[in-house]
Amino acid sequence: QRQQIPKSSSISQFLLLTFADRWELQLFLHFWLFLGIYLAALLGNGLIITTFACDHHLHTPMYFFLLNLFLLCLGYIFTTLPKATANSLWNNKDISYKGCAAQLFFFLFFITAEFSLLTIMSYDRYVAICKPLYYGTLLGCRVCVHMAAAAWGTGFLTALLHTANTFSLPLSQGNALDQFFCEIPQILKLSCSCSYLREIWVILIGSFLVIGCFVFIVVSYVEIFRAVLRIPSEQGRHKGFSTCLPHLAVVFLGV
């Protein structure tokens, strides 16, 4: 049930959604399911990160970006699943105000940085396939580090802007969120009817940036496929597709 809170009072905690009314069913659906996803993601990403770090043959720009990508994937899994799993285990729905703000910040941070990194990785594949002679110049070690840092920085600034803007709104429609973790749309539902328009504009601007990145990825791969199909030998075409299809699969999974 949604608790009605006067405008003048402050919210100290939020109530998160549960998937079932009965604790036994909630424990099975929520706890064991999320625990399985959490452990599988932790094991899989951990093994991949360890392999990249230990094998010196994988110290190339593409694998450097993939290492950052898997670190980001681990990050947003750590942001949402542990709290949801603990709430299901202890039959609890509460999350503190500061905890909700931190969860929202880190979720936006990792998601935005991941999408920025996917865009950078499409550029990496474009240069590798379409401009191979300039690959070492355009994507040296220092350039790759700067590009990865730009992706992480973009995520940080975006998350800081959205989190500060969202939690500066007056919340007067209760404290119940219809989601198992804190997210912007659910928090905006708790604000006054006119005060959330500022955050809506920020979301629209962010959406245009996301669309721009998506268009950049699509155009990059159109050029990549055109370049690969122009390769006369079948072995060369196969090698060209094999270098970009793994990243393309990651893009589809990420988007």
Residue 141: both structure tokens together: 């070690």
What pTM does this model have?
0.80
CA pair distance 237, 230, nearest whole angstrom: 8
* Position 6 in a domain: no
192, part of any domain:
yes
Q: Per the structure, how many domains does the chain have?
A: 1
Q: How confident is the model at residue 228 (pLDDT cuts 50, 70, 90)?
A: confident
Residue 1 pLDDT? 44
CATH at residue 121: 1.20.1070.10
Residue 7 lies in a domain: no
Q: How sure is the predictor about 7, in pLDDT bands with cuts at 50, 70 and 90?
A: very low
pLDDT of residue 3 exceeding 60: no
Contact status, residue 255 vs residue 214, Cβ threshold 8 Å: yes
In a domain, 37, yes or no: yes
Domain assignment of residue 210, given as a range: 12-254
Domain membership flag for residue 233: yes
Query: Per-residue pLDDT for 252 more than 70?
Result: no
User: Is residue 62 very low, low, confident or very high in pLDDT (cuts 50, 70, 90)?
Assistant: confident
C-alpha 71: how far from chain center: 11
Token duo for residue 234: 């079948």
